[in-house]
A and B are shown apart, each in its own frame.
Chain A
Amino acid sequence: MKFTLSWLKDHLDTNEDLETIVDTLTRIGLEIESVEDKSKDFNDFTVAEVLKAEKHPDADRLKVCTVKSIDGTFQVVCGAPNAREGMKGIFAPENSFIPGTGVKLKKSKIRGVESCGMLVSEREMGISDEHDGIIEVDSKYLLGEKFIEVFNLDDPVIEINITPNRGDCLSIRGVARDLAAAGLGKLKESKLIKNNEGTFDSPVKWEKDFNGDTEYICPGVAGRYFKNVTNKESPAWLQQRLKAIGLRPISALVDITNYITYDLGRPLHVYDADKINGNLKMRYAKENEVCLTLDEEKRECTKDMIVISDDNQLHGIGGVMGGLDSGCSFDTKNVFLEVALFDPISVTKTGRHFKLQSDARYRFERGIDPTSIEWGVQVATNMILDLCGGEASNPVQTPILKNKENILDFNTDKIKSLGGVDVPKDKQKSILESLGFGVSTKGNMFNITAPSFRPDIEGEADIVEEILRIYGFDQIPLTNVSDHNNKKNILSAELKSFYKIKRAIANTGYIEAVTWSFMNEKIAKILSANVIKIKNPISADLDVMRPSNIPNLLSAVNLNKSKMITSGKIFEVGPIFDETLEDKQVNVASGIGYGNVSGNNWNSPKKDFDVFAIKSDLMRILKSLNAPIDNLNYEAINNKVFHPGKSSSLRIGKNIIANFGELNPLLLKSLDISNTVVAFEIFTETLAQFQNKKASTISAFDNNPFQMVERDFAFLLPKSIIVNDIVNKIKKIDKKIINKVSIFDVYEGEKIDNDSKSIAIRVLLQPLEKTFSDEEIESFSNQIIDLVITSFRATLRK
C-alpha cells in the first residue's frame, strides 16, 4: 500500500514530521516497507537560466553555455540540441549527486573547455527515460526554485505492508484513522461523502441473481447513470498522486475509480453506458462463458464465478476485472457506475483461477466496508460531476443484504491477563473509540460494537491486540521467565540419538551436509518401488521425496572433482521417505567415503577408502553411541543402494540398526560416478535404546589377576563360510572365559584350493578362579578345533 504524505494529510490533520509518522506506522502494526523522500536527494537542483549558448570551439555538437543560477554564473559545456540562449532549465552544481546516472558531478574539461556543473535531462534526474534534450521549464519559474517543487516531487512516498487482516488500511483514510488513534493528529471529515440529488431516472438498472442461500455471494450492487460527461485527461493533482504511487493515469473517469480505490478502499467500476444493452445483472457465469476483459484477454469462466452481464454479453468478472467492450474512453459521453459487494472467497477463487491480480481483487479478498455501497456512490458522483461535468441520475440499486452488527463483550482485565500490561480502563475505551469502535461500559466489562470496516474483529483477543498495538507493544514490561521448577528431559531418547549422532559422525572425520529432501524420480526409482511423488515440484529433477540420503550426498563426488578434491567423507542426518513407512518417513544418518581420504601423502597407504575402512568408522560411531557392537548380527542387505555382495545389514534384537558396504555400481552409474564409493546408513531411532548409563548403574570393575592365555589357530575353510559365524560359535563355548576372538590373517589364492580360504584366528582365554593348567588350555584348544572343523567343514592347518 503506497501513498504520499500530502495525500495522507487530506485525511489526517497533523503537524508531526515524516519521521514520527513513519516510526508510528511500524509501531502500530502498519510496517514500513519503504519511504521515498526525494527532497533530500534533489535538494541541489534548481531552476537556472541560460544567458549565452555558443558553439564549442573544437566540437560541432557541443555548446558552451553561460548559466546563471541562484548561486552565480557558471560555464557549462552541454551537448543537448535544445540548449539555447534565454531558456530556463534545471542546473546541477559541481559536487552534486546525479540520481539518474549514480555519479557525483566533478568539475571537468570537455574537449579543452572547462565545464562547471550541468544542465540535466529527465533521465539524469531519474524521473523518466527522456534524454533527447535537457529539461526546459516555463519562464514563470524564478531562478533558485527547487527542481522537486517545479516537478511536484517534494511529496514523500510511503509504502507500508498491510497484513491480510487489515483490509481497512488498504485505504489512505484507514491509515489516517490508525495514526489519529495513535495520537498523531485528528481524522478529518471526508469531503467526498456528501449527497447529490439526481435529476432524472437511470435508464439502466442493477439486477442480481443472488438471493436466499447465495445472497452472500453478492450481497448487493448500487450505481448511477451520468449523462453528457466529458472524459478527458485528469487534472494535474490527480495525475501526480496516481503517478507517485505507481499508477498510470488513463482518463478522468478511470482515474477517479483508481483514486477512490486507494483513497477510501472502495473499488468501483464505470461502464460506457452507450455500450450496454438493457440492464446490468450480477449472476453466476455459464460454464465456458467468455468475457473479454480490460487487459484484452478472452477469459473462459466457470459456473461458480460472478459475472456482470447485460442482455447480450458479459461486461466484467465480479470483483476482479471489468470488460473491454464497455470500458470508458475519451469518447465516452454517458456513464453507468458499479458499486458492489462480493464474497471474499468467491473473488479469491476466481482471481486465482485466472491468475489475475488487481487492486479490486486485493481489496475484495480482504473484506471491504459493507456500508461503502452507499457512500461509494456518493463519492463517485462528487468526483465525476466535478471532473467530467454532466448530470447524475437518481441512484439505483438491488436489494442489499444487511450486515449484522458485530457486537461483543470484553473483559477489561484481559489486557493484563493476556497482554501482561496495565492499561487504564478509560484509556482502553478511548483507544477503541478512536479506532471507530462503539464502547459502552458495565463495571469491568465493555460492550463493544466493531466498526463495519473491521470484519477481522472476532473475539476478545482481537480487542486486546487493538488496544495494545495503539498503546504500544513497547510498553509491555519484561518479566522473569527463567524456570527452575519441574526440570524435565530436554530431548527424548529418539531425538537425542538423532542430534547426538551428528557429533559422533563428525568426530569420526565426516563433514556434515544438508541436502534437499527431494530428488530425481529417475534415480529414486532405482532404489525404491514406493517413491512419494510431489504434485507440484520446484523443478523436474526434484520431483519425488528421497527414498535414501545417499544419492544427494553422491552429488558431491563429481561436483568437487572440478575443484581438485577427489576424496571425501561426507554425512547427512535426516529423513528418508517411503510410502510404506509409518508417517511415511524415518530418520537416517548416512555417510559416504571415497578416494584416498588420507590424502596423497608420502607416508599413507596408497589405498582408496573401502568397505573395511567404512566399517571401522561405522563401528566407532555405533560404539560411541553405546550400541553393543559385539552382539551384531550380519544379514544380507535389503535395499538397492548397496552392492549385493559387498555389504551387510547389522541387526540387534529385532531392529536393523545400520547398513554398510560398497555402493551399488548401478546407482553410481546412473549418477555418472566412475569410482568406488562406500557408505553407511544408521537408523538413528533404533539407537535410542542405548542411552548413556546413569552413574549408579555402572557395574563394578572386575580386576581379574589371573594370567590370560593366547592361542592361535589356522583353518582351511570353504569360501562361503562367514567369519562372524565362526567367531560367534567360538565365543559361545564359554562367554566368560573366551575373552576375545580376533582374525589376524585371511588368505585366498594359489597356495590353496580354489574354493577355500585360510583364516587365522587368535583366541584370548581369561581364567576366572585360578591360573590355567596346561591340560585345561589343551582341552580348550581341542574344543575350539573340533567345533570349527565339525561346524564349518574346516581342516586345521598345521
Chain B
Amino acid sequence: MTGFLVRRIFQALIVLWVMSFVTYGLLALMPGDPIDLMLAGDPNVTSADVARLRALHGLDRPFLERYGDWLAGALNGDLGYSRLFGAPVLDVLAPRLLNSLLLMGLAFLVAVSIALPASVAAARRPGSLTDRLINLLCFAGISVPAFWLALLIILLFAVTLGLFPASGMATIGDGGFDDRAAHLVLPVITLAVASLAQYTRHGRAAMIEVLREDYIRTARAKGVTERAILWRHGFRNALIPVITIMALDFGALFSGALIVETMFAYLGMGKTIYDAVMGNDYNLALVGLLLATAITLAANIAADIAYTLIDPRIRLTGRRPA
C-alpha cells in the first residue's frame, strides 16, 4: 500500500513536471504580450514606454530562459508574481483554490447523494416508468449547455423568485455562515447537474450489471429481502465502476466550475486560470493549471484508495480495476 502510494505520487510529480514544461511552451506560443494589451487604446503611450515596460516584466527574454528561471524559482518555493494581480501567485491562488474546492466538493456531494439512490431506483426495475423518467432527466442533464443552465437558474431563482442571491460569494459586510451558504446554493446546483446525470447513468448501468450476476440470483433464491439485495449486495459491488467514473470526472468538474464561476461571479480557480491565460499572465496560468492537475491526480489516487476500502479483495497494484 505504501509502496503503491509512493509510486503513484512519484508518477504524479513526473506528470506535473511535464505539464509545467508543455504549458509554459504553449503559453509562449500565444500571440501578443500583456504589455501590448495593457496599452491598447491609449494613444499617449510611446514606444519607449512599451520597451521599458516589457523589459520590466521580463518579456523580452527567450522562452527557455524564462522557463529555466521559473523552474529554479519554483523549486526554491518561489512561484513568482502574478502580473494581473500584482501579488505572489500563491497569495492569489490559495483563497481561490479553497473556494473552488468548496464549490466542487459541495457539488460533488450533492451529485453523489442524489445519483446513488437514483441509480438504484432506476436499476431496480429497468424499463419501468421510474427508470425511463430518471433516464430522460439524466440525458437532459448532460445535454444542456452549462452556461445556459446557469443563466436560466439565475433568472428563475434569483430574479423571478428572489430566493437566492444571483451572484458573488457573500453579501458585503455580512459574510456569516447563512449568507455564504445562500450564495453557494445556485452555483452548486448548476455545477452538480451535469455530474449528477453522469453518475446516475453509470451507476444505473453498473447496478444492472451487478444485479444480473449469479450470486444475486442465488441470494434471491435464498429469500434475502429485495432491500438487502439492492443495497448490500448490489450497490456495494456497483460502487467500484462508479468511483472510477467519479475520479475521472473530477477534471470535468473543474471545467464545469470554470463556467459556473464566470456566470456567478464566484472567485475560483477555473475563472482565474481563464483570466490568466487570456491576460497572458504566464506565472498565474501555469501554477493554476498545475494546481488543477495536481488536484485531479490526487482525486485519482484517492479513488484507488477508495477501492480497497469498499472491497478489501482489491489489492493496490497500481492498476485500476477495469
Asked if A and B are interacting partners, one says no
Please list the residues of chain B having a beta carbon within 8 angstroms of any beta carbon in chain A.
Answer: none
Please list the residues of chain A having a beta carbon within 8 angstroms of any beta carbon in chain B.
Answer: none
